[in-house]
Structure 1
């Protein structure tokens, strides 16, 4: 029998490989990844690893020896460039062709480019891969040692805020530029976005709201500033761009696999078993748009849990399981002394009626609930732990919960 092939270099592939072996699949198993590393997870890239506090080993969910011990062939530094589902063939960038019995596409995302003049200048960084983090870390640490580093982060989403927090912890002068009314307003809405804006300002970050970048200025090819639409220039020694990411669906699209429309979040359309429109092709992680029994629509989630849980689910499905994926989206973020866990999904800005707070915003100890038609659709804890199980019960109940009951959640 031809091998099972896993395409991608992230956490989803590692968990799929592990699940396949745990489920008793003992056939040939091949991992194909563009990067020169074995599959790794990305959250540390903007946190401890970026700051130089964590060793590289923290990135890898499976030891290097695991692949050899479990008969998994690693093909690194090679890209899947052509997929023909009808013939069960995969073409690689080195000119070789792989025949496969089943295949998983976990091809991840690519950072969106900032579409202004000057993004090709030295000193401008994106953060997606371990090599990106290594380059940025070296520059930030050098700037920190010099004592006068000025970092400008363009983009006020999760990556941007985590990089800003790491840079402040290294002692850099940090400016965060966002187009929204508050940081994270597209992810959390203005209510909780304002909390994160305040946290960063309290730690010395200059937060620019409703700002529009029109270009990057330079001296001798090195970035020196970020030009704004109002005519002002923010001085910079290093610029990090974090304005979102696009799912890598090109391989699937060229193969004729069904995709979700942009209005539904894009990505590769899969069933509850993470099967695509071809029965032997599966998808997981950032690229997979998965039906949610909790929200009654497909969701494409670009967070750690989608790779962790989705990769394992895909591996079990490839091994023969018919179970439907029913996980509620989860993610976390650590910035300064603010630890956060979030469970649920909400279509910001129109997908909720109210944000109800239990605890104290001022003391940074709280649980926030996003409520739509009386039902809890998402919850986030700040510096309050072991609450996500209770939040999950509220979301899963799909029943109306009185506001007073939510406000008393921590009492």
Structure 2
């Protein structure tokens, strides 16, 4: 029986960040990471842009690199099937029993597929699923993408050589992150000509492929922000990258070719699957990509006594990332932040928050063993996220889409076509959120304005006047 002080379930960014944090705060104690995949995810090239905003890359690593870097960490490739909170033990699929003092569940989530039993519907979550996607794309002429989040946006922008039908239930693209104005800024990028011949950016880091390793039946850790750079994801129509966006609709039903012909008495037989949308339009395609979010992966603790679940299926955690069961913590997509939130912070299941929660959970676990008093991490004071859409740097700060403000706010916007899009969310003369697209260099100013709640009404529209170095006043 193995008896490390800390056990972490999950090799994604939250689990690895938690393990790295524990090796720093509690270097004398052994930590065991249990991962379902031979690949783990780690944050690299971490750059602090502001007090709360951090830019980083997600690197895919072989599990042994973590062991070599951190002597206190050990890793086993296995699947946790049961947690016995009373005896402080976890049981694995391969018959291992592991005791723990503190347990952190970082098992992430699995794709919320629109039809999980349909062979023409695939989800993209981990490296293995992308490999399957890569194989199917090569001979495809048209795919239908359902969803409006980060994965869907990346698929539509990055995959060339085939026609894409993008089905979104909102009135503009990428709605969880941007408003209609920013969507209009990106609109011309969707069908930009000449991109088929552009070379992909070089990713200067070592890569590992699952084809050389033993695969499990379970899903591995979620993909990194630049997952598409690791694969050749081009279709068979080299000159065709047309995108058609269907707004304010969802899939009503999915039909095989035979079902479609029978129902509509049609002789069209060029597509293996057909999707009927709620707006009445029917599209034939080679396959459907379901990118409609994730469901917290909590199957192995469903029967755990006294464990509390949130309405979204996540494990409820308090401000110290501890669940309702003593000595069991959780971080990342699997958990739901159930403490009273700071006004300018809210939870989104993003890479940024997975890293923040994982690192902070490690600190809390170490403090709970030493009975050390800690304060909540400052990152939970302000929502902050940096990513890329359509090749542009995108920074989101605070209540960037007016969340919590009940539509009682005004917007200050500056747009330079093809260069930048800047939006400030202002209420009662104070900045509550910001969207910065492009190289604006305004993130520190915006962060300070939100955190300090300074009255900027005296500046009016000059707050975004490009001829005035207003950031000098607030940096």
TM class by smaller structure: 0.7 to 0.9
**How far 1:306 sits from its partner (Å)?**
0.9
Question: C-alpha distance in 2, partners of 1:27/1:387?
Answer: 42
Alignment root-mean-square deviation, CA = 3.2
1:404 maps to which of 461, 467, 470: 461
Question: C-alpha distance in 2, partners of 1:410/1:120?
Answer: 57
**How far 1:223 sits from its partner (Å)?**
4.1
Contact 2:9 2:35 in 1 (8 A): yes
Contact 2:6 2:32 in 1 (8 A): yes
**How far 1:396 sits from its partner (Å)?**
1.1
SS for the counterpart of 2:378 is coil
1:152 maps to which of 118, 124, 144: 144
Contact 2:39 2:63 in 1 (8 A): no
Question: C-alpha distance in 2, partners of 1:110/1:316?
Answer: 27
1:319 maps to which of 366, 371, 376: 366
1:182 maps to which of 169, 172, 176: 172
Deviations 1:80-112 (A, max 9, x none): 222222321112222332110111111111211
Gaps of 5+ in 2: 44-56, 194-241, 260-270, 469-475
Q: Give the structure 2 partner of residue 74 of structure 1.
A: 75
Q: Give the structure 1 partner of residue 434 of structure 2.
A: 379
Tell whether 2:342 aligns with 1:294: yes
**Cα distance change, pair 295–350 in 1 and its aligned pair in 2 (3 A):** closer
Deviations 1:293-326 (A, max 9, x none): 53288x4321111122221111122222623133
Tell whether 2:240 aligns with 1:215: no
**How far 1:196 sits from its partner (Å)?**
4.1
SS for the counterpart of 2:182 is helix
Contact 2:9 2:15 in 1 (8 A): yes
**Cα distance change, pair 259–410 in 1 and its aligned pair in 2 (3 A):** farther
Deviations 1:10-69 (A, max 9, x none): 01111111111122422221111223323457xxxxxxxxxxxxxxx9632687333145
Question: C-alpha distance in 2, partners of 1:207/1:348?
Answer: 26
**How far 1:161 sits from its partner (Å)?**
1.1
Question: C-alpha distance in 1, partners of 2:428/2:81?
Answer: 46
Q: Give the structure 2 partner of residue 96 of structure 1.
A: 96
Bigger mean CA deviation after superposition, 349-358 or 19-28:
349-358
Q: Give the structure 1 partner of residue 449 of structure 2.
A: 394
The higher radius of gyration belongs to 2
Normalising by structure 1, we get a TM-score of 0.81
Gaps of 5+ in 1: 42-56
Contact 2:257 2:274 in 1 (8 A): no
SS for the counterpart of 1:59 is strand
SS for the counterpart of 1:316 is helix
Tell whether 2:389 aligns with 1:341: no
SS for the counterpart of 2:439 is coil
**Cα distance change, pair 110–289 in 1 and its aligned pair in 2 (3 A):** same
Q: Give the structure 2 partner of residue 240 of structure 1.
A: 289
Contact 2:412 2:461 in 1 (8 A): no
Contact 2:425 2:434 in 1 (8 A): yes
Contact 2:148 2:176 in 1 (8 A): no
**How far 1:356 sits from its partner (Å)?**
2.4
Name the structure, 1 or 2, with higher relative contact order (CA <8 Å, separation 6+): 2
Question: C-alpha distance in 1, partners of 2:305/2:465?
Answer: 51
Question: C-alpha distance in 2, partners of 1:231/1:213?
Answer: 10
Normalising by structure 2, we get a TM-score of 0.71
SS for the counterpart of 2:86 is helix
Q: Give the structure 1 partner of residue 105 of structure 2.
A: 105
Bigger mean CA deviation after superposition, 195-204 or 3-12:
195-204
SS for the counterpart of 1:20 is helix
Q: Give the structure 2 partner of residue 283 of structure 1.
A: 330
Aligned 1:296-311 pairs, distance under 5 A? 299-311=346-358
